[in-house]
Amino acid sequence: MAEYHGVKLLLTLIGRQARRHPWEYALLFSTVTCVAALWVAEPLYSRYAIDTMLTMREGADVNLIAIFGWWGLLFLLLSIAQTAEKFATWRMMNKTELDRSEEVYRHVLDLDIAFHTQQKSGEVVKVIDEGAENLTELQRNLIVDFLPSLASAVVFLGIGFSIQPFLSGMLVGLILLYIAIVVIGTQKTMKIQQQANRAWVERIGRAYDAVTNIFAVKSGAQEGRELRTLERANAKVFRKQMQVNRHWAAIEAINIFMLTRILLTSVGVYFYVRGTLSLGELYFFQASFFRVLTPFEILSGILPFWNKKVGKVRLSEELLRIPVRVRSKRGAKRPGHVDGHIEFRGVCFSYEEKFKILDTDETEKVADRIVETVHPLHEPEDETQHTQETIHPALALQEERRPPKRYDHGRDVLHDVSIDIRPGEHVAFVGHSGAGKSTLAMLLNRFYDVTEGRILIDGTDLRELDLLWWRAQVGLVLQDNLMFNDTILENIRYARPDATEADVKEAAGRAAAADFIESLPKGYATLVGDRGIKLSGGQRQRVAIARAILKRPTVVVLDEATSALDSVTERRVQEGIRSLIAGHTACIIAHRLSTVRSVDRIAVLDKGRLIAFARHEELLRTCAIYKEMVELQSHGMLAE
């Protein structure tokens, strides 16, 4: 049953690909059919040629030049057809692998933040690559190798039954015996192979984590620990895969091909001696034996890895079927101008917890996380780590991930929050960890949708606006802004690819980043390393601010943009922030209350509720929680 579903999945994907590239597949099927026909024609002609030449013993006049000329022509035609077939096959393979990886990758880019923050990016990228690679290989196995050989085998058997029914019947019986053995073996290995597939993916995911967090590994002197972790993962993979291989080794030990060749040769020679089979017909059976058994020989090479390969294709297909919940509606609006008037009206937000949080040693962890459709409304927020819209979605969206906080089903993280932010106003959101500050930032960027209530932009529900258009209006700067492994110039220009070098330098100057960039030996052409590892935290922040300035946003969201910096670096970064938010509506989330005193108004949140919204001076008089936070920070008792 599982094999049936695997074949059905494979045929569905091949059909989808054929509809996209009909001419390429027409060329492929034509060349494959031509090669198969010539493989049938050769032994048929050889049978005729051999029996014709044998008549020379009886004095018959035989045109040997014509006989050998036709043999040569068959050889030439087969060589040309096989060359064309290989070209068409390679073209199809390249298109299939690239198209499939692009299709799944595009979907991964579109998937909600709720999905990405639950996945190890190394595992996701591995699923994309291996899914495309194995689909390509299975497609070649099926279309180019197996089906043409099977069609040739059927034709050979049909001709064989017309020549010598007993020999043909014996060949069919041996083939059926082999099929039965293979089917039983496949069923026995299927479940073990699925476990091995999951272990393979999990192994790569852990190794990717270690490499992307190399500073944590080295600073903690944990190289040995990570190596032992990989060794344990390798041992588990090896153990599972060897279980599968033992089953297939037992099947391969039954050498059905040698048995068939021995029986066919001995019985064929017997019929030849008895005069019921000509030498040409005996040659035909010997040649057709290889052609009849070829599809089953191909099958024997595919089946030991069938479950493994189909499993990887299925993982990528399940990844492709995960729905995108936060998306633009049909006919979404793209206003010509944005004033920056933001209203949170009765906003409630909850995490409907349906993610399965698994132990790291659980063998089915990877497959369950990917196969399980993202049903939750949203994924619980981690107030200290956030994703950034400019981080490459196929790479880590978070440098480290913790299991998300657990909430009771239906429990609100935000409770009836209503805030009216005027155009051009600078508003700060403050509160203790877990108060819901960053959740508001995520909702404003529409990384999630509200559970209840509305967010209005110039009077229009945020969900009515085109998603990509709206995100292009928002400049987002986070606490930890990771970079592409590219030049500083391209990292800044990522926000606006059509920007000139002069535009980039102007943005860097306004972000107080130009001085340190120009002091580097290669200036703006400096490669920043993986995730910006060659830059300090303050330098990365200023590059991120330059990127946001270059974007020319209407609304600016700063989520803990300076909380990880020392005071000296913070002052430099604040210069860029002032330039970024000047003349724009700005929402600033901060733990350091000293950084938000100059804003127009401050919203104080506590346990998901808005408890006060006023200027700094008024809050000191009227809001006990805010006053307490200010006093604790001034005495160094509350982390800034």
* Domain locations along the chain: 1-164+305-323, 165-276, 414-635
Q: pLDDT at position 457, please?
A: 94
355-379: average pLDDT: 35
State the pLDDT at residue 7. 80
Cα separation of 496 and 557, whole Å? Answer: 18
Length of the chain: 640
Over residues 287-304, mean pLDDT: 76
pTM for this structure?
0.69
Q: Name the one residue in this structure whose structure tokens are 């006053």.
A: 627
Mean pLDDT of 462-484: 87
pLDDT tens string 230-242: 888 888 878 877 8
pLDDT at residue 11, rounded to an integer: 86
Count Cβ atoms below 10 Å from residue 325 Cβ, excluding itself: 16
Nearest alpha carbon to residue 185 among 10, 280, 31, 305 = 305
Digit-coded pLDDT (tens) for 132-169: 899 998 888 888 888 888 888 888 888 888 888 888 88
pLDDT per position as a tens digit, 386-437: 333 333 333 333 333 333 333 333 457 899 999 999 999 999 999 888 888 8
pLDDT given at position 569 = 66
Q: Give the model's pLDDT for residue 585.
A: 92
Give the pLDDT band (50/70/90) at residue 545: confident
Confidence of residue 251 (pLDDT cuts 50, 70, 90): low
Q: Enter the tokens of residue 488.
A: 């500083």
74-92: average pLDDT? 91
DSSP run (H or E) holding 188: helix 165-212
Predicted pLDDT of residue 177: 79
> Exposed, middle or buried, 252 (CB in 10 Å: 0-12/13-18/19+)?
middle
Instruction: Please give the Cα distance from 601 to 617 (Å, whole number).
Output: 10
Q: How many CB atoms lie within 10 A of CB 366?
A: 26
Report the percentage of the chain scoring pLDDT > 90. 16
Judge contact between 406 and 353, C-beta under 8 A. yes
pLDDT value for 388: 34
**Best CATH choice for the domain 414-635 from the list 3.40.50.300, 3.30.530.20, 3.40.1280.10, 2.40.50.140:** 3.40.50.300
- Predicted pLDDT at 502: 92
Q: pLDDT-based confidence at 184, cuts 50/70/90?
A: confident
CATH of 1-164+305-323, one of 1.10.3720.10, 1.20.1560.10, 1.10.287.70, 3.30.1780.10: 1.20.1560.10
Is the pLDDT reported for residue 465 higher than 60? yes
Residues 546-577 have pLDDT tens digits of 888 888 889 999 887 766 566 666 677 777 78
**How many other C-beta atoms are found inside a 10 Å radius of the C-beta of residue 45?**
16
Provide the token pair at 342. Answer: 């933001």
Rounded distance between C-alpha atoms, residue 626 and residue 593, angstroms:
9
pLDDT of amino acid 462? 93
